[in-house]
Structure 1
Amino acid sequence: MDLIKPYVYEVTRRLPEKMQDDVALELQSTIEDMLPEHPSEKDVRAVLTNLGDPAVLARRYSDRPSYLIGPALYDQYLNILKLVLPIIMIIVVISVVAEEILSFSGETSMISIILSIFIQTSFAAASAGIQSVFWITVIFAVVERSTKSEEEPFGKAWTPDQLKNKPAIPKKRLISNWELAGGLIWTAVGITVYLNASRLFAIYEQENGESLNKAATIFNEEILTSFWPYIAILAGSSLAIIIYKWFLKQWTIKLAFINTLYNVLWIILLSLMISHPDLFNPAAVTELETALQSDLSNLTQWIRLTAVITAVVFSGIDIFEGFNKARKGRKYKKVEVEQVD
């Protein structure tokens, strides 16, 4: 019984039509090369068994993976989830608790407050967790389909030659998990504070010993809302850079330039926002001037200038460290290296 033609057919029928003829010829030739000059049915069975399941072999010929996230990225995918989800849960809890504290009227029992915090935290955490898992999965799925698979065809065994394109990373250039976690926390906290600025930065008054009432917000909500699309783009860029760092695992000159561009854009956006004449709510300024009995125009200018200078200093340090780490390891022939998972 001729088993070769059915085997070739079972492989090629699972491929796009434009690939079928070429793959059929290639596979037929490969099988013939693996057989002796006068093969028996036993020899044919042995070769086909070595090639494996036609469906699996077809996937290796196809450029489209049949899985959402393959084994090469699955461990990194799980590690990212383990890193991101706890941070998001902490941010959600802090946000809900802060909102409950600021809205506390003194008329609600402690049990009701605790129950309210638990319910709101559960729903908010579930929503944030689902969205985080969704977007991280989308990013990894895109990476899975945009990178070339390194899997050896026909089940060939691993050899040391595959290490030639995977050199060990110098320890001084290595990007640690703490660095990635710090970037995620900074981005998450920044977005949380920005979206809750009207509640976190406000003037509260207490009349006749009653609960605190918000008299005025420090920042003009319309101005913050107008800058939100740009802040969101910048936050997305920050997350993209963090994920890029995760795959790269080390500082390079290219990464340092990307980091520089991000910091420059951040400084420009902050400068535009902080210098906006209507950023501070006039009602809040009036409230403070009345309470302190002094002109605060100089104080607001000092706050603007201090914020920009602080951002420039910290961004400059971050840019310098990026290039400094990227250059480390190039100056020495012998470097201390650390095994990368």
Structure 2
Amino acid sequence: MTTLTDRYLAATLRSVPVARREEIATELRASIDDMVEGRTDGGQDATAAEREVLTELGDPDLLAARYADRRLQLIGPTYYLAWARLMKLLLSFIPVGVGVLLGLLEAADGGTVGQAIGAGIAGSIQVAVQIAFWVTAVFAVLERTKTPLHLPAWSVDQLPETPLHRQITVADTAASIGFLTLVIAYLPMQHFRSFVPGRDGGDVPVLDPALWSFWLPFLMAVLVATIGLEIAKYRAGRWTWPLVAVNAVLNLAFAVPVVWLMSTDRLLSPELLARFDWLQQGDNLNMLATAVIVGTVLVTLWDIVDSAIKAYRNRR
């Protein structure tokens, strides 16, 4: 089990140069131990002494800036950390969400894949620039006018738990978000460019266009929410039980409609079924439906069970 000192050191060292981390860790831990020992020698409880010492040292980001000789003065030192934390939060999900939405709208309006991707990237960049400008401008005004934010004082209770290892890596998150984005983009695009050639030229849609009345927008919304889950997983660094619960709900919200629509012959478009003669022969269509249903169920169960196992291991 990690102590408050371990957590404080981890929170401080993440913002200092890698080459100096070992040196700073040794120096800082020795200083904390000496300060705690000085208080316990006077009869103070060790746990209370540790909390007092860390509270006196203050916000680990401020301490890290002093160790790294880094000035926190883009807009002024008073509100710099509040500005930086808000910027990281807003830029972590808003530009991506807007970019996906703009790409989908471009594809639904008849745009090509390249146009949809271009619209999404351009929209993400524009939103990121607007967020950076306006948040910075607001904090600059607050700094100059000395407007109090009444932010709660830093305390040791805000220290993050020190993970033994990071389960969720940047590469895993990027790959998952990239795949989900492609699936979201393909759902409207497949009505215009499905890569399944028709008999008379052009492409035939894979999914029944009638699903646009409700089910396809619903499935796209579930996928967008799943992107949010991927971001939350990365920020947490590991699976937790609340994340497992959200993952299970999103998996079921996607899988149940797919299974039901496939079992009632409402998922695939009539044009696709008419395009392939073998689907009309014998029980081939039923075999395809069974394969899709079984595959969907297995993948869903595997993902839910896998996330639960990882969360369980984290508690041990």
Structure having the higher strand fraction is 1
Q: Within 5 Å, which residues of 2 pair with 1:103-182? A: 121=114, 124-133=116-125, 152=154, 162=156, 165-171=159-165, 174-182=167-175
Q: Which residue of 2 aligns with 1:298?
A: 283
Verify: 1:264 aligned to 2:264, yes or no. no
Over 3 Å counting, the alpha-carbon distance change for 1:138 and 1:231 in structure 2 is farther
Matched letter for residue 163 of structure 2:
I
Q: Which has the larger radius of gyration?
A: 1
SS at match of 2:121: helix
Verify: 1:312 aligned to 2:297, yes or no. yes
Mapped partners of 1:219, 1:306: distance in 2: 16
Over 3 Å counting, the alpha-carbon distance change for 1:276 and 1:132 in structure 2 is farther
Over 3 Å counting, the alpha-carbon distance change for 1:285 and 1:315 in structure 2 is closer
Mapped partners of 1:72, 1:320: distance in 2: 34
- Residue 285 of structure 1 contacts residue 296 of structure 1 at CA under 8 Å; is this kept in 2? no
- Residue 203 of structure 1 contacts residue 284 of structure 1 at CA under 8 Å; is this kept in 2? no
Mapped partners of 1:274, 1:135: distance in 2: 38
Give the CA RMSD over aligned residues: 4.6
Cα deviation 1:139-160 (Å, max 9, x = unaligned)? 9999xxxxx95665xxxxxxxx
Cα deviation 1:120-142 (Å, max 9, x = unaligned)? 84x54442124335777999999
Matched letter for residue 319 of structure 1:
I
Mapped partners of 2:270, 2:91: distance in 1: 48
SS at match of 2:161: coil
Please give the TM-score of this superposition, normalised by the length of structure 2: 0.54
Please give the TM-score of this superposition, normalised by the length of structure 1: 0.51
Mapped partners of 1:297, 1:139: distance in 2: 58
Mapped partners of 1:139, 1:303: distance in 2: 47
Q: Within 5 Å, which residues of 2 pair with 1:1-341? A: 70-74=83-87, 121=114, 124-133=116-125, 152=154, 162=156, 165-171=159-165, 174-198=167-191, 199-205=193-199, 213-214=201-202, 216-224=204-212, 226-289=214-277, 295-296=280-281, 298-331=283-316
Higher RCO by CA contacts (8 Å cutoff, separation 6 or greater): 1
Over 3 Å counting, the alpha-carbon distance change for 1:214 and 1:139 in structure 2 is same
Cα deviation 1:179-231 (Å, max 9, x = unaligned)? 2112202211211221222321534337xxxxxx1374444322355422211
- Residue 256 of structure 1 contacts residue 326 of structure 1 at CA under 8 Å; is this kept in 2? yes
Mapped partners of 1:221, 1:150: distance in 2: 52
Q: Which residue of 2 aligns with 1:9?
A: none
Over 3 Å counting, the alpha-carbon distance change for 1:150 and 1:187 in structure 2 is farther
Deviation of 1:169 after TM superposition, in Å, equals: 0.8
- Residue 259 of structure 2 contacts residue 296 of structure 2 at CA under 8 Å; is this kept in 1? no
* Structure 1: runs of 5+ lacking an equivalent: 1-54, 101-119, 143-147, 153-160, 207-212, 332-341
Mapped partners of 2:88, 2:313: distance in 1: 28
Mapped partners of 2:283, 2:175: distance in 1: 35
Matched letter for residue 169 of structure 2:
S
Mapped partners of 2:237, 2:167: distance in 1: 6
Cα deviation 1:237-279 (Å, max 9, x = unaligned)? 1122122223322211121111111112121121133234343
- Residue 194 of structure 2 contacts residue 206 of structure 2 at CA under 8 Å; is this kept in 1? no
Over 3 Å counting, the alpha-carbon distance change for 1:301 and 1:170 in structure 2 is same
Aligned length in residues = 220
* Structure 2: runs of 5+ lacking an equivalent: 1-74, 136-149
